[in-house]
Amino acid sequence: MMQERLLELQEEALQKVAAASELKELNEVRVSYLGKKGPITEVLRGMGKLSAEERPKIGALANDVREAIASKIEEKQKALETAAVNAKLATETIDVTLPGRPVNKGNLHPLTRVVEEIEDLFIGMGYTVAEGPEVESDYYNFEALNLPKSHPARDMQDSFYITDEILMRTHTSPVQARTMEKHKGQGPVKIICPGKVYRRDNDDATHSHQFQQIEGLVIDENISMSDLKGTLDVFAKKVFGQDREIRLRPSFFPFTEPSVEVDISCKICGGKGCSVCKQTGWIEVLGGGIVHPNVLEMAGFDSKKYSGFAFGIGVERIAMLKYGVDDIRHFYTNDVRFLKQFHHHEA
């Protein structure tokens, strides 16, 4: 009789738990069935009438019933709580496709970007970065580089003179001359020299009275033209891509002998010939050569013991080729629509 009553209560309570749709309702079920005034407690009060054998059985059953109800209530409570949270979160849904709050960020000028990339490449190969004044003496800009005052090659670079003896440097080579002098005839010297240079040119799509160069210089025992070729090959592949090739052509610079012009294979046509490379498959990118013995000697190096190579790169030219910029003036106009294009890292 009591046993049936308990099972009946369990059945009844579980049905109510299942039916409860709110936490409040569920709590009412808990109080009414498991509370001190609840029906199970009431049933247990009548246990005194039972035999000694039956008493523990009913007691155990009553506990099982209580636990069963309590466990279901707990289960249900969790479910209701989760549902309540979910319902609340559902009202908080946002449009994730709306744009985020912009974080201010700027970027390097494309020329600096190229310079830093090249600096880092050469630093990795054991070079240091040497710098020098943009206003130079005629001596360092020309004479120390095997360009005496009467030298016809001075015509090649018409210059902005300030007085007869000082001028806006026409290349970063004077930094090489100054660095060599500081080494007092002791090798090795391994430097690259980035910087602004100036020439008397009218500004147009391909000329700028101010531009940037990076020159490199290595002086040590047994430095050869093949070392220059290998070094520039590393440079070309790093800056323009692993599939680029280089080609050396004989040329003339007063401070190097032999001198070379260096071409890279055209990226656009892959060497077949197109309008960018003027149908040659090659694009001229820089000049260099073996340091002229006069330049070594003037800077205090024994040209019998030491040899060296030097090269010079036009930064604008590299940037124009690398990024496809068609007018050198863009670099100095600083239209922000131009500047903002050079922000991400390229693979």
Partner 1 sequence: MFVSYKWLQDYVDLSGINATELADKITKSGIEVEGVEKKSEGLKGVVIGHVLEREQHPNADKLNKCLVDIGAENPVQIICGAPNVDKGQKVAVATVGAVLPGNFKIKKAKLRGEESHGMICSLQELGFESKLVSKDYATGIFVFPNDTEVGKDALEELGLSDEVLELGLTPNRSDALSMLGVAYEVGAILGREVKWPVIENEEAAEKASDYISVKVEAKADNPLYIAKIIKDVKVGPSPLWMQTRLMSAGIRPHNNVVDITNYILLEYGQPLHAFDYDRFGSKEIVIRRAKDAEKIVTLDEAERTLTPEHLVITNGNEPVAIAGVMGGANSEVKNDTTNIIIESAYFAGTVVRKASKDHGLRSEASARFEKGVDPARVREAGERAAQLIAQYAGGTILQGTAEVDELTMEPAVISITLEKINTLLGTGMTVSEVESIFKRLQFGVELDNETFTITVPTRRGDITIEADLVEEAARLYGYDNIPATLPIGSATPGQLTDYQIKRRKARRTLEGAGLYQAVTYSLTSQEKAAQFALETRESIRLAMPMSEERSQLRLSIVPQLLEVVKYNNARQLDSLALYEIGSVFFKQDGQELPEEKEHIAGAITGLWESHLWQGEKKPVDFYVAKGVIEALFDTLGLADQISYRQAEINDMHPGRTAEVLLNSEVIGFIGQVHPTVQKDLDIKETYIFELSLKALAEAEVAPIAYETIPRYPSTTRDIALVVDKATKAGDIQSIIIEAGGKLLKEVGIFDLYEGERMEQGKKSIAYSLKYFDPERTLTDEDITKAHDNVLAAVKEKAGAELRG
Q: How far is CA 314 from CA 125, 143, 284, 318, in A?
A: 20, 22, 11, 6
Q: How far is the CB of 212 from partner 1 (least distance, A)?
A: 8
The pairs formed by 77-84 with CB atoms below 8 angstroms and a separation of 24 or more are: 77/23, 77/26, 80/20, 80/21, 80/22, 80/23, 80/26, 81/23, 84/23
Identity of the amino acid at 164: D
Q: How far is the CB of 205 from partner 1 (least distance, A)?
A: 17
Pair 264, 245: CB distance under 8 Å: yes
Residue 335 or 346 with smaller CB distance to partner 1? 335
Of the chain, the end-to-end C-alpha distance in Å amounts to 83
Rounded Cα distance between 78 and 64, Å, is 21
If you ran DSSP here, which 8-state letter would residue 62 be given? Answer: H
Rounded Cα distance between 260 and 24, Å, is 91
Q: How far is the CB of 121 from partner 1 (least distance, A)?
A: 10
Residue 5 or 209 with smaller CB distance to partner 1? 209
Q: How far is the CB of 22 from partner 1 (least distance, A)?
A: 37
Residue 122 or 142 with smaller CB distance to partner 1? 122
Q: How far is the CB of 223 from partner 1 (least distance, A)?
A: 6
Residue 111 or 299 with smaller CB distance to partner 1? 111
- 57, two tokens: 């059985």
* Helix, strand, coil fractions of the chain, as percent rounded to 5: 45, 20, 35
Residue 21 or 186 with smaller CB distance to partner 1? 186
Q: How far is the CB of 109 from partner 1 (least distance, A)?
A: 4
Compute φ and ψ for 61, nearest 5 degrees.
Answer: -60, -45
Q: How far is the CB of 111 from partner 1 (least distance, A)?
A: 6
* 342 three-state secondary structure: coil
Residue 34 or 271 with smaller CB distance to partner 1? 271
Residue 24 or 101 with smaller CB distance to partner 1? 101
Q: How far is the CB of 11 from partner 1 (least distance, A)?
A: 56
Residue 286, beta-bridge partner list: 262, 313
Residue 44 or 234 with smaller CB distance to partner 1? 234
If you ran DSSP here, which 8-state letter would residue 165 be given? Answer: S
